[in-house]
Amino acid sequence: MDDLELKYLKSLSRQYPTIAAASTEIINLQSILNLPKGTEHFMTDIHGEYEQFNHILKNGSGSVRRKIDEEFGNTLSIKDKKSLATLIYYPREKLDIVLREEDESSIEDWYKITLHRLVQITKRVSSKYTRSKVRKALPKDFSYIIEELITEKAEIQDKEAYYNEIIHTIIRIGRAQEFIVALSNLIQQLVIDHLHIVGDIFDRGPGPHVIMDTLCNYHSVDVQWGNHDIVWMGAASGHLACIANVIRVAARYGNLDTLEEGYGINLIPLATFALETYKHTDCSAFAIRYNTEYDTKDLSLDMKMHKAIAIIQFKLEGQIVMRRPEFGMQDRLLFEHIDYENKTITIDGTAYPMKDVDFPTVDRDKPYELTPEEEQVMERIRHGFVKCEKLQKHVRFLFSKGGLYKVYNSNLLYHGCVPMDEEGNFKKVNVYGEEYSGKELYDVLEHYARKGYYSNNLRDKLKGQDIMWYIWSGPNSPVYGKDKMATFERYFTEDKEIQKETKNSYYRLLDKEEVIEKILREFGLDEKHSHIVNGHVPVERKKGESPIKCGGKLLIIDGGFSKAYQDKTGIAGYTLVVNSYGMRLVAHEPFESTESAILHESDIFSDSVILETTTLRQKIADTDIGAELRETIHQLEELLQAYRDGTIIER
């Protein structure tokens, strides 16, 4: 035994100071290895649609309803099953309705029946976990009672009377409602062991801050950053171009309330500036894509703010392109190619008519310089982003729980693409003078992004912040995956040809087995038994497009949570559920509202496709956690041997 190993075992002996303690832990861990693996739930491209996200999270993409069907079979009617499922999803709201509808004489019977049913479901969903893990999940106020109800007691002869008396007491002392809420929340937690969010929590929809609050409190989760997440992360770091993009997208979709009310960021400086500077300016190119809840009295002001921040964004992005020539984005320096007299812009040698050249803050000789007023506005808003406690908490969560990709239980998760050339080779990308491709490209970009948020060195911080902006919109960014972000062209020209954003070759190669297997090998996975789970690009099911690529080796699970995509996709998103029996892809119909789900007990109608089933039920031993547990067992066995041969003395 070398000195380093001995030092480690001595450290481990502090936690397990005796042969008995080490032996007990080995037995515990070995038993855990033989339990069924936990259920994983994959969601992506949520885009601020918090009501639909919340519902799918609560129902586990149909997992709760499947548990009800397994437990009760034909002994409950479809109506009763729907009612029980709705109660589990929304216990407080459903209880309010029941208490209004049931008379006093029948409410006790309802409580009794409902509590028995909830206890049965709780038993089923907790059966594949250790008692210790279930105990940790139990709500503090009811932990002892729930443990009594879900644990089989061989020593009690009349079990039915024993359990009935517990439930009767809960009702008699007026704790039935709180107990129902506690059981419902516990079922939601236990039905899903781990949640994966494969990017794009932010933008378009009205509630990314609500989603982030939910994720911050979720029991087990990881996040792969999407391009819409990384631009918010850059904005939180204080990067002006990222801030401008965040505000512009919020303005475009009528979601400035997300910033002002959701995060408490003061946009009055921008509103005041836009009202004054753009009061006689044509803003018709900056229409707002608002939803039914949008207050149209704000329309004129929001269009002015939309135009003002867009012009500031194009200026700030021009500064980055000139500061970082290695990004290869000189084609985005478009202000200098405008012919203001003829109202045209020249792109690749062709002049295109422009809808708008009325830019009161653009100096034609120095088009990328902010005016002093624009600088002042952006500095005040930057201060709001950096000092916003809630936003900083959310972004620190994304850094601590996330990354650009994740390898987990033989699945490779990432948001966009692995940049490739036409032949299917990993594309080499210049990052500050060095070329990177494949996994190395992901790793170096993530390294710089973390520096952009955390570094105290101003030079390193700016390099990292500029990389966050590049990840958001750069032509070789893994999470963006297109040759350009044609925002300028979409605002100012009618020509569809120059508005095209050409996807990376990766998307053309998705059904080539050799390409997908090469990607899996690049990230250290066995290409014969692994999968890629991919977000970012909406799957247009109404055109016959399938989310299942390359014979099931790659799954694109963005089907359009965002209402802005649903006309195009024909559905409201895909999710993926992986449990001990296999993989299930779930396609969701559009979600009407939380209110409708509660009042009418209308779950989201979802089609399920079973992708894979295993002949032998998978155990924790077959997972990444299982590998870690086996390593811990090995170390404990080494400690046991050290105790027995006297190398380390028991305490």
Task: Locate all alpha helices (DSSP H) within 330-457, ordered by sequence.
Answer: 372-386, 389-401, 438-454
Q: Do the bridges between strand 434-436 and strand 405-408 make them parallel or antiparallel, or are there none, so unpaired?
A: unpaired
Residue 528 pLDDT greater than 60, yes or no: yes
Asked if 204 contacts 75 with a C-beta cutoff of 8 angstroms, the reply is no
Mean pLDDT across 617-638: 94
State residue 535's pLDDT score: 85
| pLDDT tens column, 199-214 | 999 998 899 999 999 9
Mean pLDDT across 323-333: 95
Question: In the numeric block, which tokens belong to residue 28?
Answer: 């515990």
**Mean pLDDT of the residues in the chain:** 91
Answer left, alpha or beta for residue 76, where phi above 0 means left and psi between -120 and 50 means alpha: beta
Task: Locate all alpha helices (DSSP H) within 291-360, ordered by sequence.
Answer: 299-323
Local structure of 117: helix, strand or coil = helix
Cα gap 398→152, rounded to integer Å? 41
Domain boundaries, given as residue ranges, for the chain? 3-30+626-644, 59-191, 208-491
Residue 290's pLDDT band, with cuts at 50, 70 and 90, is: confident
Residue 154's pLDDT band, with cuts at 50, 70 and 90, is: low
- The partner residues of 407 in beta bridges, in order of sequence, read 412
Residue 163 pLDDT greater than 90, yes or no: no
Residue type, 135: R
State residue 128's pLDDT score: 87
Cα gap 182→427, rounded to integer Å? 51
State residue 347's pLDDT score: 93
Highest mean pLDDT: which range of 89-98, 450-459, 543-552:
450-459
Cα gap 141→481, rounded to integer Å? 49
Among 332, 363, 605, residue whose Cα is nearest residue 487:
332
User: Of all residues in the chain, what percent carry a pLDDT higher than 90?
Assistant: 77
Residue 605 pLDDT greater than 80, yes or no: no
Residue 600's pLDDT band, with cuts at 50, 70 and 90, is: confident
Asked if 302 contacts 288 with a C-beta cutoff of 8 angstroms, the reply is yes
Out of 22-26, 88-92, 295-299, 306-310, least confident range: 295-299
Asked if 238 contacts 212 with a C-beta cutoff of 8 angstroms, the reply is no
Cα angle 13, 17, 21; round to 5 = 110
Asked if 51 contacts 58 with a C-beta cutoff of 8 angstroms, the reply is no
Residue 191's pLDDT band, with cuts at 50, 70 and 90, is: very high
State residue 588's pLDDT score: 79
| pLDDT tens column, 538-596 | 776 666 778 888 988 999 887 566 666 555 554 467 889 998 988 888 887 777 778 88
Cα gap 379→391, rounded to integer Å? 17
- Distance (Å) of CA 262 to CA 180, 234, 504, 562, 603: 31, 18, 35, 18, 27
User: Of all residues in the chain, what percent carry a pLDDT higher than 70?
Assistant: 96
Q: What's this model's pTM, rounded to 2 decimal places?
A: 0.92
Cα gap 373→178, rounded to integer Å? 55
State residue 606's pLDDT score: 62
- Distance (Å) of CA 374 to CA 62, 316, 359: 50, 11, 13
DSSP state of 16: S
Local structure of 49: helix, strand or coil = coil
State residue 651's pLDDT score: 87
Mean pLDDT across 109-132: 92
State residue 604's pLDDT score: 63
Residue 295 pLDDT greater than 80, yes or no: no
Residue 275 pLDDT greater than 90, yes or no: yes
